[in-house]
Structure 1
Amino acid sequence: MVSDNRGLLAIDESSGTIKKRFDTIGVESTEANRRDYRANLLRAKDLGHYIGGAILFDETLRQSAADGVKIVDVLKAQGIVPGIKVDKGPKPLAGFPGETVTEGLDGLAARVDEYVALGARFAKWRAVIHIGDGYPTPTGLAANAQGLARYARICQEGGLVPVVEPEVLMDGDHDIETCQRVTEAALDAVFTALKAHGVLLEGMILKPNMVIAGSDCPTQTSADDIAARTVATLRRCVPAAVPGITFLSGGQTELEATVNLNAMNAKFGPNPWKLSFSYGRALQASALEAWSGKAENQPAAQAALLKRAQLNSQASAGTYTGEGVN
């Protein structure tokens, strides 16, 4: 999924999240509209040259396009591996205000069996780490790490490659040093738990945040600083056995996510793992706007997605030179 400078397309927005995004373009979030939007993007010509896997929502994995072709088969025709989001979302962690823990372990083994039968070959589970006054606590980090490890082991036993996503949120006014400290603590907790549960590190992908200042921090740093701190954190915390690290965009703009990824690969390599992307908004924002719910705009939406996928593939190789690249 990360070979040949390819990355992952996170097109697994929950029903609530995609409704918010459709609201921005004045489109009703019906099952048919969600299907048409996603199926069209996944049919962008040559998308598989830049995208190695697509993370789907449960609804999408079960759907067929308007012409009757299963979405899973649309992906396979592109050479893209179908994946599935399996967590049930973060919920408040009892006794620890400001912290959450992700739910969804109950019945997961049975769901994994079903998803494999439906054509999925990898899965994703997101743990959310908030930075605030007095948190995250060691207990909060440990709870989320245990959830990620249990999920990963269940997936490997059931035949799905786990994408392990501990996200330290950009929300807040914390500086980049705080983000780096918390990210290192989160990754340390996660890999301690993964090893304790016997997860095969060679058979997983890590999907972390970049080390970046909070969105409300008055002092924002350069792409080079973000890249240097991110790579340093990964070298300290992530075993070389992990084959690929696909970053989430986490609220960055399309341009920021591409520039920061490129700086890591162009200036701070080589590294023992592939450094690639697993973006949602940072791949789809322009495509969503181009589509605007109109069938006649489907080619423009495909072109917008393909452009961002190509540019991020270049960033994965450290060869991105700007938005004018064709």
Structure 2
Amino acid sequence: MTYCVAMRLNAGLVFLSDSRTNAGVDHIGTFRKMNVFETPGERVMVLMTAGNLSISQSVRQIIAEHKTAAGKTIWNADSMYEAAQIVGEAIRLVHDRDAGTLEQFGIDFNVSMIFGGQIKGERCRLFQMYSAGNFIESHDENTYFQIGESKYGKPIIDRVVTPDTPLDEAAKCALISMDSTLRSNISVGLPLDLLIYEADRLAVTRFATIDEHNQYFQTIRATWAKQLRTVFESIDDPVWKTAPDEAIQAMSTIGQKSQPLRIAPPPQFGIHTAEPAPLQTLAQDEEGGSRQHH
């Protein structure tokens, strides 16, 4: 498994990938997932891959060499959309060649990719590629794509990133997203590749490979964990017995008729069930007595 994330912003593009392809008790595979196709001053394109490693490596090789019937290649495509079509065609070529044989060995044709960049004369663009070679494009309503083990790193991006987010701030968010994933899933691992592309530069100028010794990433990990704990501890614990207007942190209030969904044993089992214990849903009444609501 892997985790890759890319963001399309007004200021440019951010790409981040891990390098783990297999995890187990006694085996960890490390292969870099980010590939750059660059003609400085004319085009910069970045491809990140997840899924079956042999498939993704084959697709990457074909992308670099493939020429369409119209004579177009990744190196002379007129637009990023046309380049994405070439990537999709490469995926289908590998599928046509290998999918049947893989199926005989019980292996699914499993590959997903993020492809983005800029060709001179047009804006930055970002695409998510699927196993069928089809793809979707990022727009302002959806400024980022993830592939691989994406669920742990998604919440922070949803809360922080907009098209107007500066590149360095987006990179920081991507690294926090990656840290959340690293903490929760052993199938994602260091080192990381981080590429920040400034719109209209048409060259790679900001790139870093990040391992466990990288000071900034260690600062992010420590600071994020500490601040999360601080925020968590600053939130009041729930109050179970209160009047509706007494505490905003009330878990339940007077007049609230909530009950768990209880499953009763079938009569033929002969099991006698006692009356359920009263729930803590009401505050003290005005006379100081206790009223319980069932």
Query: TM-score, normalising length from structure 1?
Result: 0.29
Larger radius of gyration between Structure 1 and Structure 2: 2
- Structure with greater proportional strand content: 2
